[in-house]
Amino acid sequence: MNILWLYRVFTLVLTCILSLVVIALCAHTSTHLDNILEHFDLTGSFPYATLGIAIGCITIVTNIIMLGLDFFLDNIFTSMPVFEVPWLSIVWILWISVGATTLSQGNRLFKGSQCSDFSVVLPDAKEICDDVHPIAIVAFVNFALLFLYSMSSLVAALFSSGSSSTWTTSLKNRGK
């Protein structure tokens, strides 16, 4: 079995799981924001929570499609480095934006206050504050996983570029 293909499967499955975590944390944050705004008859959302949910969904859908097609079809285009490297590079850039936006807006919202400062006055704000760093951490872990896989796939394709059609051969079929 090709070690890079196993690394691919591991990375894509793990990023799907971590994307679910980000979606759950962002939904939790949005729920608490709705509770706060409900008292003032307002509506709104945090851009980082919306971005986290959107990028999490994009990651899950594309990873499942890429893995599903790879398991059931031989040499499908979604498993080829010519498709995977650019697409996953876009996705890891989006994960950087989720992490950076979360930290930036969390810092702007809470201005360096301790999350426990909000527990008595506004418990929902404490919950939102508590979710900021986990969302950013998981987003940056997803970035790192996808970045490392993209770069290792790129390096493997470049080093084996002397052999025929490395850019258009799926990783699963590369050793055959």
State which H helix or E strand residue 156 sits in. Answer: helix 123-159
Q: What average pLDDT does the segment 115-133 reach? A: 86
pLDDT number for residue 164: 63
Domain locations in the chain? 3-159
**Token pair for 143:** 């970035």
The percentage of the chain sitting over the pLDDT mark of 70, rounded to a whole number, equals 91
pLDDT number for residue 163: 63
Q: What average pLDDT does the segment 106-119 reach? A: 84
Sign of CA dihedral 104, 105, 108, 112: negative
Quote the mean pLDDT of the chain: 88
pLDDT number for residue 171: 67
**pLDDT digit string, tens, across residues 71-103:** 888 778 888 888 999 999 999 999 999 999 999
What is the maximum alpha-carbon separation in the chain? Answer: 66
pLDDT number for residue 119: 79
CB 101 within 8 A of CB 51: yes
pLDDT number for residue 1: 55
**pLDDT digit string, tens, across residues 10-55:** 999 999 999 999 999 999 999 988 888 887 777 888 899 999 999 9
Q: Could you give the angle at the alpha carbon of 10 between the alpha carbons of 8 and 13, nearest 5°?
A: 105
- Check whether 176 has a pLDDT greater than 60: no
pLDDT number for residue 161: 61
